[in-house]
Amino acid sequence: MGTTILAIAANGIAHLGLALSSEEVMFSLRMSMMTSSLSTALCMALALPCAWAMTRGGLPCRRALETLVELTLSLPYIVLGFALLVIFSSPFGVALRDHGVSVVFQPAGIVLAQTAVNVPFALRMSRTALCGVDRRMEFVARTLGAGSWDVFRTITLPLCRNQLVSALVLTWARGMGEFGATLMLVGVTRMRTETLPGSIFLSISTGDTDTAMATAMIMLLVSAAALTAANVLGGHPVSRAEGAREV
């Protein structure tokens, strides 16, 4: 792994200026950042209520749902992309397109593909964060008359806020690097549905390995920044959980 990173860095740094001055690479960077930000917002908006229901709501068939989430995480992303392509190429997808909702071979499909891939990951991270909260503190708040929303807002959310922010950052980073499902659903069209991974794919396809290496270097820097931010914001979950149990 370290050798791979060193190889990218050694070859990418030399041509980084070329990539940064390329209109196409900058377009793919903006596209990746925009779609990743939108898909991450959707992922967290879907994952957090689901995680709350799975950990606090007494949801029936919870084990089956957890197994389904784990299964989705283990599926190859290109399979998820193929499933989305089948759905949105069906009469249902045609009806949506007739009403102005088009995702196949469209930038909106990138957001959809990233969301489909990352919702299970965001749900797992959110569920882990909520499970780390001391339930006794929530119980005490309820005995004092606090409602469910007040307990979540004043007790649960502050205690797991850092972990949730870390989950958000990591989900965003995964969106930046997603390629398999996106390739299947929207393809890679220059200056239209071209993300950073798509830009690398196109550069390699045309034999432009210098630009591909430089683009990979940009992705490496983004990933390193996201990982650092997640570690700093997330802290040490075990230490915080132990501290909560001591209260």
**Domain parsing of the chain, residue ranges:** 6-246
Planar angle of CA 186, 107, 68, nearest 5 degrees: 65
Question: Is 173 within 8 Å of 163 (Cβ atoms)?
Answer: no
Q: Where are the alpha helices (DSSP H) in 21-106?
A: 23-56, 62-74, 77-88, 91-98
- Average pLDDT for 163-173: 91
User: Residue holding tokens 């797992």?
Assistant: 124
Global pTM value: 0.84
CA–CA dist 235, 82 (Å, integer): 37
User: Who's near 71: CB < 8 A, 6+ residues apart?
Assistant: none
Asked if pLDDT for residue 1 goes beyond 90, the answer is no
The pLDDT, as a whole number, for residue 176 is 92
Asked if pLDDT for residue 61 goes beyond 80, the answer is no
Q: Does domain 6-246 fall into CATH 1.20.1600.10?
A: no
Q: pLDDT tens across 63-104, in order?
A: 777 787 778 888 888 899 899 999 988 888 888 888 888 888
Helix (H, G, I), strand (E, B) or coil at 247: coil
170 token code pair: 């990591």
